């Protein structure tokens, strides 16, 4: 989606080996680092206008154990914050499953939002359904957007299109 909007993906980090081949097929010119983000020095990440990411959702999923921030994967949000603090891009986008908004995760979610704010970002979040934005799937995700405070941006989420574009035309 970001490439369709005119951005170029120059660097990526993915620890899950089952994703590597598909990622490299779709982004052949992008550097893919396969170490855990915990072991990635921010200095090795190229400077960019924005950083997009989605720390693992298993910790927050309604279908999972729901350990949230008490799970090692849930704590990876703080690695995302570390990279943002070190790199200081103009913006970031983080996404995760709707389960992160469950009452049992409220304290942790608020702490994550506060962390983004405390490192210099104005932050907005919303639960959005991809099907409302011309994406042919019914998928709810929490989208967190932050802009560096010095840019004085007041972000507004786009209005839902409520129109799904067909994947292909059909003939009767």
pTM: 0.85
- Residue 84 half-sphere exposure, CB side, CA atoms within 13 Å? 30
Annotated catalytic residue: which of 51, 57, 83, 145? 57
Rg of the chain (C-alpha set): 17
Q: What is the pLDDT of residues 12-47, one digit of tens each?
A: 999 889 999 999 999 999 999 999 988 999 999 999
Q: What is the pLDDT of residues 144-164, one digit of tens each?
A: 999 999 999 999 998 887 554
Examine the residue annotation and report whether 57 is marked as an active-site residue of this protein: yes
Distance CA 134, CA 59 (A): 28
Distance CA 26, CA 102 (A): 34
């Amino acid at each position: 989606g970001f490439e369709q909007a005119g951005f170029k993906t120059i660097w990526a980090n993915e620890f899950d080996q089952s994703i590597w081949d598909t990622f490299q097929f779709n982004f052949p010119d992008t550097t893919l680092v396969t170490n855990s983000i915990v072991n990635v020095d921010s200095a090795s990440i190229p400077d960019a206008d924005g950083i997009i990411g989605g720390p693992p959702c298993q910790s927050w999923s309604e279908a999972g154990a729901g350990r949230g921030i008490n799970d090692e994967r849930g704590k990876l949000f703080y690695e995302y914050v570390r990279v943002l603090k070190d790199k200081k891009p103009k913006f970031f986008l983080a996404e995760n499953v709707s389960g992160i908004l469950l009452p049992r995760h409220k304290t942790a979610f608020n702490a994550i939002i506060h962390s983004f704010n405390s490192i210099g970002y104005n932050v907005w979040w919303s639960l959005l359904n991809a099907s409302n934005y011309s994406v042919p799937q019914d998928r709810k995700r929490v989208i967190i957007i932050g802009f560096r405070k010095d840019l004085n941006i007041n972000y507004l989420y786009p209005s839902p299109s409520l129109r799904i574009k067909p994947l292909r035309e059909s003939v009767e």
